[in-house]
Amino acid sequence: MSCDFIALANKGVQELHPYQPGKPISELERELGITNIVKLASNENPIGISAKAKAAMEKEFADLARYPDANGYYLKAKLAERTGVGINQITLGNGSNDVLELIARVFVAPEHEVIFSQHAFVVYPIVTQAIGAKKVVIPAKDWGHDLEATAAAITPNTRMIFIANPNNPTGTWVNKTDLKAFMDKVPQDVIVVVDEAYYEYVEDSEYPQTIPWIKEYPNLIVTRTFSKAYGLAGVRAGYAVANEEVTGLINRPRQPFNMNSLALAAAEAVLDDHAYLQKALDVNKSGMQQLISAFNELGYEYIPSVTNFITVDMKQAAGPLYQQMLEQGVIVRPVANYEMPNHLRISIGLEEENAKFIRVLREMTK
């Protein structure tokens, strides 16, 4: 008699569906036998890897038979210098997803509630459900966070609140005034995680980079990544910043060597590659305007975005349009799993990549 392994799993895991990443180029090549594919699906940096990061990784090749520095001392030291915090306030991770899960595992139990917004990053409900905690989803306001409703939803069972700022997949953001007023309302025994994965792209002076706020709000944790503006999505590097006591707790269940030697070296090096970062931001800014101009010309409504992607209303079910674009060698991201069935999320690519997407979109619009 075969065993029912599904019944053996935690209830929350039984009801989960695996995370669906953007379709890889190699997969589409296998499926359709086409080449010259443009991938605008995963919010990756289109300019490629930093030369300094590449050189730093190459230096590590000779010692890859040895374990990496489990504490990531040199990367932590550089991050501490850049962010104005102590080394003991930083937790390193295999991408920021890794630290988001760690944080939830440390502080959330099945009897707790976790609050996040409708249309917020899919990892928040995944980690909440995997733990077996209660998900409290706040209806979005103008596609973004409704902080007043979020504060009103806090109960004695609330243990954690996730705020993506800016938010993926909508590209919306919360300003300093509103976020500060929200933090003042949150009890200190409720952990607030502000996910700043896309903060480098925001130019508005009212955008709050919240790491300095940790001194005032000890229940605040800030997460960041090297996968976006710093172009290290393939090696996986991210981190969290919190007060020392919170950081000490997060590091207790952290897996040994959860950042590999290549990721540690690349992340440390790319922090000094200011020219690379500026080029990435410049390419993104011009590419964003390229797509916005096309949407305006073709009559498509979009959600104003401060990130490296933009989400557009296709005015009909987006799934079939996504498939049509695949057949033309353009990979974008449908977001029906975010309760946005008529939208596609478009990552900003190089000028010629954006142009191919626009050509395909124009043909589909005729």
- What is the share, in percent, of the chain residues with pLDDT greater than 90? 87
Entry pTM: 0.93
Task: Name residues whose C-beta falls within 8 Å of residue 19's C-beta, 6 or more positions apart in sequence.
Answer: 122, 123, 126
Task: Name residues whose C-beta falls within 8 Å of residue 345's C-beta, 6 or more positions apart in sequence.
Answer: 41, 169, 309, 310, 311, 332, 333, 334, 335
CA distances from 89 to 126, 248, 270, 353 (A): 26, 8, 21, 40
Apex 33 CA angle, 30 and 38, nearest 5: 85
Q: Please give the structure tokens belonging to residue 296.
A: 């305006």
pLDDT under 50: residue ranges of the chain: none
Q: Please give the structure tokens belonging to residue 216.
A: 């005032």
3-state secondary structure of 61: helix
- CB neighbours (10 Å) of residue 234? 12
pLDDT digits (tens, 9 = 90+) for 37-89: 899 999 999 999 999 999 999 999 999 999 999 999 999 999 999 999 999 99
Helix (H) or strand (E) holding 331: strand 330-331
Q: Find out whether 324 and 331 touch, Cβ atoms under 8 Å.
A: no
CA distance 351 to 46: 10
The pLDDT assigned to 34 comes to 79
Amino acid at 65: A
